[in-house]
Structure 1
Amino acid sequence: MKIWLYDTTLRDGAQREGLSLSLEDKLRIARQLDRLGIPFIEGGWPGANPKDVQFFWQLQETPLQQAEIVAFCATRRPGRKAAEEPMFEPILAAGTRWVTLFGKSWDLHVIEGLKTTLVENCAMIADSIQFLKSQGRRVIYDAEHWFDGYLANPEYALQTLETALAAGAEWLVLCDTNGGCLPHQIQAVVKEVMAHFGGLDCLGIHTHNDAGTAVANALAAVQSGVRMVQGTINGYGERCGNANLCTLIPNLQLKLGYDCVTPEQLATLTEVSRHVSEIVNLAPDDHAPYVGLSAFAHKGGIHVSAVQRNPRTYEHIEPHLVGNQRRIIISEQAGISNILAKTSELGFELDRQHPLSRTILERIKHLESEGYQFEAAEASFELLIQEILGQRQRPFTLKGFDVFCRTDSRQLEVTIRSQSLATVKVEVNGEEMLTAAEGNGPVSALDQALRKALMSFYPEIAEFHLTDYKVRILDGHAGTAAKTRVLVESSNGRDRWTTVGVSANIIEASYQAVAEALEYGLQRSRRSQLSPLVAS
């Protein structure tokens, strides 16, 4: 059975605190959603801001491949005729075939919010839908606050749906706008709506996650007869977010057997999720179901051994179905099975009889007892394996570094300006280089000085960027003498990799991580000239 997916990332999702989308961002996301096979993409409210107007104009000139782009707006205002409502002018100018119109279902909102009568609210719904239909538009009706409205006054809430259906709405979407319902409530109400109308094949569901049940609520609605599911990529949305389509789609398709997208489109789900997170500049949720980096990660030695024999022992689906991959985590909890699985994944041929297999395991456990964390720094782990196997070819050798920090705190200024100067001495191919650079902190200065020294030998370093920097104090009881672990995430614009450094000196720990990040990035550049990159 077909389930129609409706994405509202570009409108409802963009209401998430701290999330801001440019025109180009919205266009890029729309094309990702189109590629994923989403049938309906809500583009925004034309007329609400210039950016949304331009967005719809752009898509008129360069349409999407398969998706319907949808304009969003409210019913007309009280006491007006829809044909005379200025709000509808930009909606029609957007040129979409479909318009999603939202109206009030809850008598509380009608009386106290709109300051009008229940009769007038129904007239607003009917008049608005009929006007849009007269202009050649197809209408999706979003029944705002539907479940709260139904629980407060079921007779009136049902009357608003009857009004919308009679006026020509092709979809009736029940909205849990406050996000406070639980699955059993959603299921019961949807069944009552179905019974009232004698069955409907045009019901939709729109859930928010304020009670942490948005996905479960949407699934309950589908199992009760709903045929359209609205949500957002990665669950973005106001307050606690919307139903997460990256969880809903595989649950609907792989678990419940509904037809949502093609298998080939489903296999792009992880890529789309991570691509959208990059566009909106929010870190991906590594522990997200299906698409998270850790969704198919195995750390315990017994787990790894079992997964190697049969992945079904600890995986509920095959990772490739959603475009993800199995990962073997290396940590102090690792057994020999973890080591062999991980080294095989990286292209090293080892077995239990290899004399260095145990050496690697003991070295990992020793280093992690010292504060290293290789499960979060797989690039450093690969370099370590190369070193133990005698295969590490260092592109440069550090001969020493100095860092000088200067602060300028002026009496009447709140902020303190800090400038750092780093000097590094490195050897490349037998040639020593001494360079200095300034930065807005010691790590920045070190990074700049090292790059400056290496750029003439390795110009590809210009593509590498430090994208994240994390510091953790490992023994708080030791005060300023405590060991520090530094994790550095780097990117070449296509791939990400993480390295780690540990020392009682935060500058030294940072240098270790930064230097290994550059070394590993250079290795990736060399590999890319021979074969496609494999994400680390």
Structure 2
Amino acid sequence: MENTISIFDTTLRDGTQGEGISLSADDKLKIAQKLDALGVHYIEGGNPGSNSKDIEFFQRVKGLKLNAKVTAFGSTRRKNSSAEQDSSLIRIVESGVPAATLVGKSWDFHVHTALQTTLEENLAMIYDSFAYLKRNSVEAIFDAEHFFDGYKHNPEYALMALRKAQDAGANWVVLCDTNGGTLPSEIHEIVSRVRAELTAPLGIHTHNDCELAVANSLAAIQAGARQVQGTINGYGERCGNANLCSIIPNLQVKMDYRCISDEQLQTLTSTARYISEIANAHMPVGQPFVGNAAFAHKGGIHVSAIMKDSKTYEHIRPELVGNKQRILVSELAGQSNIISKAQELGLDVNANNDKTKQIMERIKELEHQGYQFEGADASLELLLRDAFGEMKEIFKLESLKLIVEKNNGHMNAEAIVKVNVEGQTVYTAAEGNGPVNALDNALRKALEQFYPSINNIHLADYKVRVIDEKDATAGKVRVLIESTDFNNTWSTVGVSSNVIEASWEALVDSIRYALLNMARITNVHDEPREQLGLVNH
């Protein structure tokens, strides 16, 4: 269908070229399954002969029986040789993949400078390579590297490169903005010209060096491209690749193209966050569509309006992409923020409630001390529930001791805690690779006999910020802890002039919130609702 767009994901190949991104074969297989569930049409797994991880991936991915076409990556044959003797092309065919992407030169400058060969030989390299793939029944995709730069410098030769791939039977001709320096208006104009010259279906592959990769991809689709290549969360070399988490909803929700099913679109946010966890790459909170702050509201006037109709300050319903609306509460918040947040939690509150005014003053006072609740939703919820008498004290710290020593060049920490749980005193000790890790381990050790579910939780991130820079090391600090149970993620905050005390405060809130979440599920590990800390009314 004319309005159907093919989604080509290269997170496992181009995405891993991003700084700090490294995936094992197991990681790649997990991500491939998640991408398949999302509904992408092609999953580019890497070069089946380039390294042991990719070799293992292509061997094992066959057993997953994915709906998406697993695609191998390679380049056109070496100069002055034959495709039948090219080891890279042979490995692609032997891997048994249904589809393969070959990158080839379309910019005469690159032919002379990078390949150091003639323009004629480069054209022969393109033709021979794609003819070889087609003879071996492999769906063939031509990534025309540096196409837009090449077209602007020598349009005749750039088009000749595309025609050679088309004549050899390439199923897709993909135009690449490899340096990421082309503008959307240029993309639209050039793709329109190419569309008039070629019969093969076109694709687009852009990079984000000018913060235009998504806009350029959309412009190419409007000009006639029917395949879009990109990565989840925009991972990729230098400034990254085109972000499929923005491209897909823009195409489907805003531009009336069909990419994946509506049900699959609703898994976009969870897919983006899952892959960020596997890649160990923190997602920007303000990432469009799938970021934690994409539908967050802080200003009191805004919140008052969205409580009447969310369309006042939201361009789409967050549920369309699997995200959710969030009301932030801070010293800038008005009563509307407090009321909305409390109602979200099922608390009985209204604008005339004295409790609401007291809570608002308390939040402003705490934020003046350095707390930041807009980045710590879990601590805010606990604060509200405490104020409304919804929580009971689950455990109480009686004493805490930390020992940090450097031994044989290694820094070790030991935490000793004494806590009272359900009237029973528990005394435990645990080691860690740092004081916070040791505290976390000791507290869990003390609580796990009462709340076994605590073993499902781990700390995902830990941040410390000095609030009073002028006081240097004696200044007050704010600690933000992010925790996860792989299904949910929550953040808590602690503030003190002592970093250990601030960390303990945030850590305790994290555990309290986790137990509160468990209380919402009936009979989790046979831990009753009231035991987990939520009061029945």
TM-score, length basis structure 2: 0.94
Unpaired runs of at least 5, structure 1: 411-415
1:475 is matched with 468
Distance 1:60 1:503 in 2: 53
- What percent identity do the matched residue pairs reach? 52
2:300 is matched with 301
Deviation track 1:190-232 (CA, whole Å, cap 9, x = no partner) reads 12223334xx460111101111111111111111111111111
Quick check: 172-181 or 449-458, which moved more? 449-458
Distance 2:49 2:431 in 1: 47
Q: Is the 8 A contact 1:53 1:90 kept in 2?
A: no
Deviation track 1:424-453 (CA, whole Å, cap 9, x = no partner) reads 222122222333333333323332332333
SS of equivalent to 1:87: helix
1:154 is matched with 155
1:405-416 mapped onto 2 (5 Å cutoff): 405-408=404-407
Distance 2:310 2:468 in 1: 38
1:167 aligns with 2:168: yes
Q: Is the 8 A contact 2:45 2:57 kept in 1?
A: yes
SS of equivalent to 1:375: helix
Q: In structure 2, give the amino acid aligned to 1:424.
A: V
Distance 1:473 1:160 in 2: 57
Distance 1:386 1:343 in 2: 9
1:298-377 mapped onto 2 (5 Å cutoff): 298-377=297-376
1:135 is matched with 136
1:38 is matched with 40
SS of equivalent to 1:528: coil
SS of equivalent to 1:393: coil
SS of equivalent to 2:87: coil
1:527 aligns with 2:529: no
Which residue of 428, 445, 452 maps to 1:452?
Answer: 445
Deviation track 1:67-124 (CA, whole Å, cap 9, x = no partner) reads 1111221111111121222222211111122221221101111122212111111111
SS of equivalent to 1:229: strand
Q: Is the 8 A contact 2:97 2:138 kept in 1?
A: yes
1:117 aligns with 2:118: yes
Distance 1:71 1:436 in 2: 51
1:511 aligns with 2:504: yes
Tell me by how many angstroms 1:368 deviates: 0.8
Quick check: 92-101 or 282-291, which moved more? 92-101
1:441 aligns with 2:434: yes
Q: Is the 8 A contact 1:201 1:225 kept in 2?
A: no
Distance 2:166 2:445 in 1: 67
Q: In structure 2, give the amino acid aligned to 1:469.
A: Y
2:184 is matched with 183
Alignment CA distance shift 1:317-1:50 (3 Å): same
Distance 1:237 1:405 in 2: 39
Q: In structure 2, give the amino acid aligned to 1:131.
A: Y
Q: In structure 2, give the amino acid aligned to 1:402.
A: K
2:248 is matched with 249
1:385-404 mapped onto 2 (5 Å cutoff): 385-404=384-403
2:259 is matched with 260
SS of equivalent to 2:354: coil
1:290 is matched with 289
Alignment CA distance shift 1:173-1:364 (3 Å): same
SS of equivalent to 2:520: helix
Alignment CA distance shift 1:444-1:31 (3 Å): closer
1:204 is matched with 203
2:533 is matched with none
1:13 is matched with 15
1:103 is matched with 104
Tell me by how many angstroms 1:530 deviates: 5.5
Q: Is the 8 A contact 2:231 2:241 kept in 1?
A: yes
* Structure 1 vs Structure 2 CA RMSD: 1.8
1:209-248 mapped onto 2 (5 Å cutoff): 209-248=208-247
Which residue of 25, 35, 39 maps to 2:27?
Answer: 25
Unpaired runs of at least 5, structure 2: 530-537
TM-score, length basis structure 1: 0.94
Q: In structure 2, give the amino acid aligned to 1:242.
A: N
Tell me by how many angstroms 1:382 deviates: 1.4
Distance 1:329 1:179 in 2: 36
Q: Is the 8 A contact 2:347 2:388 kept in 1?
A: no
